[in-house]
Amino acid sequence: MQQLKNVLTNGGELILETLIIDAKYGKQIIPKDRYARMRNVWCLPSTDTLHGWLESAGFQDIKLADVTQTTPKEQRATHWIGDNTQSLADFLDPNDSNLTIEGLPAPKRAIFICQK
C-alpha cells in the first residue's frame, strides 16, 4: 500500500480493485499454491483488513465503492485466449460454485477509492 501511495502526487486518488473474502478485520487467506488456478494471487484480505492496510499506509477518505462476486458470465472463455479455452467456470468447484476448485471462497472483488 505504501508503494501505491508513493507513486501518487499529493491529493492524488487511488482506485484499487482487488480480490477479497467475506470475513472480519484481520482475516485473510494466503493460498498455498494457487487460487482459482491463478498463480499470481498471494493474499485475499477481508474488506475491513484491506481498509486497515490503506489507513495504516496513510490514505485518507477511504471509501468501499463496490463488492461484487465474479461470475462465469463475465469471466468466460473467448477466442482471444487462444488454445487455453478454460475460464472461471472451470476453476470453480463443480458441486458448489461458492468455492474454487481448491476449496477456497469463490472470487469476489472490491473497489476502494481513497486519497493521498
pTM recorded for the entire structure: 0.82
pLDDT of residue 81: 57
What span, in angstroms and rounded, lies between the C-alpha atoms of 75 and 22?
21
Q: For all residues of the chain together, what is the average pLDDT? A: 89
Residues 43-78: tens digit of each pLDDT: 999 999 999 999 999 999 999 999 999 887 765 555
Residue ranges per structural domain of the chain: 2-115
Helix (H, G, I), strand (E, B) or coil at 51: helix
- Give the helix ranges, DSSP H, for 16-87: 47-56
